[in-house]
Chain A
Amino acid sequence: MSLFYSTLKYLAVTLWSMFVIAPFLWALTTSFKDFQSVTSGATYIPWVDFEPTLDGWRSLFKSPAQGGIAIVEPFFNSVIVTAAGSGISIILGTLAAYSLSRFTFRVGPIRNGDITFFFISQRIMPPVVLSIPFFIMLGKLGLLDTLFGLVLVYVVLLMPIAVWIMVDFFNKVPIEIDETALIDGCNPYQAFFKVVLPNSVPGIIVAGMFCMIFGWTDFFFAFILTFTEVQLLPVAIVALNSSITPWWSLSAAALVSVAPLVVVAFVVERYLSKGNLSGALK
């Protein structure tokens, strides 16, 4: 490749990388500011442009009464809801996907493809359409503003993703594996749990990562269905986005909330480079 082309190539990837990183750098520098240095205009380099303080980071652990934003509890609420919602979705979704991939269903005009489509089509529904009936339904069941209520909603949100990825994945796991196990005297459940499942770990990890991403990043349902008892991280942070915004706390909180899933980016890349992902994503 000519020098011109390769320069152009590196220029392009560098420019896009800078665009990707820019908001994180801005949040990082802002998180060390205080009222004075935020309101005096845009500044960038600590010690040169402004005097850095740790107030923003300290406020994450203080209660609102002390002028803080108490992010620890929302953080763990988010972890619990995401983990429980993803876990249930993966278990139920993997089982359903296995049956859709291996067996033939015929109920009237309904075939396998239609059942798969029914699962996946739940993603078309905008959150706002479901939020009002969910609001009324959870209210009737006394589950508004509880972790359990949110987990139920997240299962609807995440199971379609698990089914979508796992059906494609199982379609690529050769059926001979199951058949050999059955001939060796396993019943269908043993064949699934002892033979097929251990061979499906890469697919389950990919599905799990996608469930985690979409669970962790959801805002709207948590925003509508919880008020004071249970607060999730995104809701707690957006609550700061008022007219008198404490930019320093907000930036520190944003970085904390974003950090756990950045790890996922490394895992996804590993799978991508090893070629395991291309099978699971198509």
Chain B
Amino acid sequence: MNFKHKYMFLLPGLLVLLAILIFPIGFTVRLSLSSWDSFYPGLDFIGLENYVRLFTDDSRFWEAFGRLSLLSLTTVFLQYIIGFSLALLVWKEIRFQRLFRVLFLIPMMTTPVIMTVVWRTVFHESLGPVNDFFSLFGMQPLWLSSEILSKFTVILVEVWQWTPFMFLLLLAGLLSLPKEPYLAASIDGAGPVRTFVYVTFPLMAPISIGAIIIRLIEASKIMDTVYVLTSGGPGTSTETSSFYIFIKGLREFQFGYSAALSITYLIIMIISFTVIAKILVKLMVRGE
């Protein structure tokens, strides 16, 4: 095909994306080398001072990062297990199959931040239905204001919201699997468990890896839920990296420092995702 036409197709999108993005990224790098804050706004040059502060004198950032790892790995693990189970349950014949499929998809269509506002009323410690139930047993768990339970609540809301995404990707994968391996397995007399372990799971490995990576990327941005549900509290017990950068940047207006946080965070993320993808490929494909 003619050589020039391909650019006519590609460039409009690519240039628009570059035009909108190149300033923000370049500016963030430059900003991270300045001391711009609400007292002294302006792009002065202070070298790597912000980065030195970050690596030597900011345990709160690293704690937030650890918390983010804990929250996102836990939620994605749960979403994978539950999403895969649900997909398997409605994959083959089951009554009301289409109704269940629609129901299982619905949470991902809802606005996380709005559903979190609703969840907050559900878990309200004196007026919500959850504690209404627990009060039957004389308990009043502090879903939003105790250090451990607030993490649990955030995980529960995230699992409710995003398990459907995992379910969708895995069910679409299951529905596209070839029939022949299953015929072979049934001829060999394999039961449902052996069929799953030796046929379904290995065939689904590439799709599983893709789905887990996509969900990890999205889960690492967790922000809305935390903002509405707990505002990072109590104390800093549900504060994640995004939320900490938000506080430094858009609450305390330390633009320079928060830019350094952002850049460091991005670099860590890109490295982690690469490593995680490699590990997943090793773990899941080994069985073949």
Using CB atoms and an 8 Å cutoff, list the residues of chain A in contact with chain B. Answer: 9-10, 12-13, 16-17, 19-23, 26-27, 30, 38-39, 41-42, 44, 88, 92-93, 95-96, 98-100, 102-103, 105, 115, 119, 122-137, 152-153, 155-156, 159, 163, 178, 182, 188-189, 192, 213, 216-217, 219-220, 224, 233-234, 237-238, 240-241, 245, 247, 250-251, 253-254, 257-258, 261-262, 264-266, 268-269, 272-273, 275, 277-279, 281-282
Is there a chain A Cβ closer than 8 Å to B210's Cβ? yes
The answer on a CB contact under 8 Å between B24 and A258 is no
The answer on a CB contact under 8 Å between B129 and A272 is no
| Binary interface encoding of chain B residues 83-95 relative to chain A, with 1 for a CB under 8 A from any of its CBs, else 0 | 0011001100011
Which of B54-62, B140-148, B242-250 lies at the interface with chain A? B242-250
Beyond contacts A20-B103, A238-B114, A268-B105: 10 other A-B pairs, Cβ-Cβ < 8 A, are A10-B94, A129-B245, A132-B28, A137-B27, A233-B114, A257-B114, A262-B110, A269-B98, A277-B175, A278-B175
Task: Note all chain B residues with C-beta closer than 8 A to A253.
Answer: 114
The answer on a CB contact under 8 Å between A124 and B270 is yes
CB distance from B260 to the nearest CB of A (A): 11
Instruction: Find A30's partner among B86, B103, B121, B132 (CB 8 Å cutoff).
Output: B121
Give the number of chain B interface residues (Cβ < 8 Å).
90
CB distance from A129 to the nearest CB of B (A): 4
Interface centre among A42, A100, A129, A156 (most CB of B within 10 A): A129
A224 to B245, CA, bound (A): 14
Task: Note all chain A residues with C-beta closer than 8 A to B190.
Answer: none
A-B contact pairs, 8 of them (CB 8 A): A92-B12, A103-B10, A155-B16, A156-B17, A178-B1, A220-B223, A238-B113, A241-B120
| Binary interface encoding of chain B residues 1-36 relative to chain A, with 1 for a CB under 8 A from any of its CBs, else 0 | 110011111101110110011011101100100000
Judged by DSSP, the binding face of B is helix
CB distance from B183 to the nearest CB of A (A): 19
Instruction: Find A278's partner among B106, B110, B172, B223 (CB 8 Å cutoff).
Output: B172
Task: Note all chain A residues with C-beta closer than 8 A to B101.
Answer: 269, 272-273
